[in-house]
Structure 1
């Protein structure tokens, strides 16, 4: 069994899915996926509740070392302040892409440490559904296919 290190993950942002750029200064990136629980218990259930899946939800949270001159960090801040959507994409060995509302920002100004901003994002209305991404592999050798321009693995919708 192999392990994938967290530092192989990258958070990208963009106004559209075709304009994703790497967000600088990101650390402690987290993707939470949950499904609502719907009670479907019939009367003749033998005393046990029955459940099924409801709607899915996602939450992306991260901390970033604040740089008030970085275009990406300012875009995240502006999306929060102006209630506008932003595309977020997590990449690495697998990934996830979703149109999000920035639902929370907290600036941490610890004594003797760098300013850190903690951010939370959740899916918002979009013409494009959230998508799980897998690394495209070469059918001949099973190796990841890399982008010729940047050497990064090519991701495709699962």
Structure 2
């Protein structure tokens, strides 16, 4: 749930196509940093951008139009909203990694407080390999040439 903020919410821009705001500008700066200074791939930058734009849209809905107004509670509410919308655990992991990287950058650039330490990444489940059927095991054992050292091994 978003934190109670004693100051009034930032005003929303008018019109169907509002001009870029501080949230958009922060994302643009971060994506330029990721591509130019960090040398990340276009796909990585696009993934970061997609997750950060979703967070920015959420922050606007709760009355925040600047990254320095975001709170831990806002981020918690956003994560819960992602879960409620059925985000796959891997998608949620990537989203949180994107947001953590952004807030480390934003803090270094004096755009926002460093909220990255408050975003714990969930454990990623490794997909277990497909277990062999008894028939597949039998075929493998029969395929071994027992006349060679390697086959015996």
TM-score range, shorter chain: under 0.3
Larger Rg: 2
TM-score (normalizing by structure 2):
0.22
Greater relative contact order structure (CA < 8 Å, 6+ sep): 2
Hey, which of these two has a bigger chunk of strand by percent? 1
Hey, which of these two has a bigger chunk of helix by percent? 2
TM-score (normalizing by structure 1):
0.21
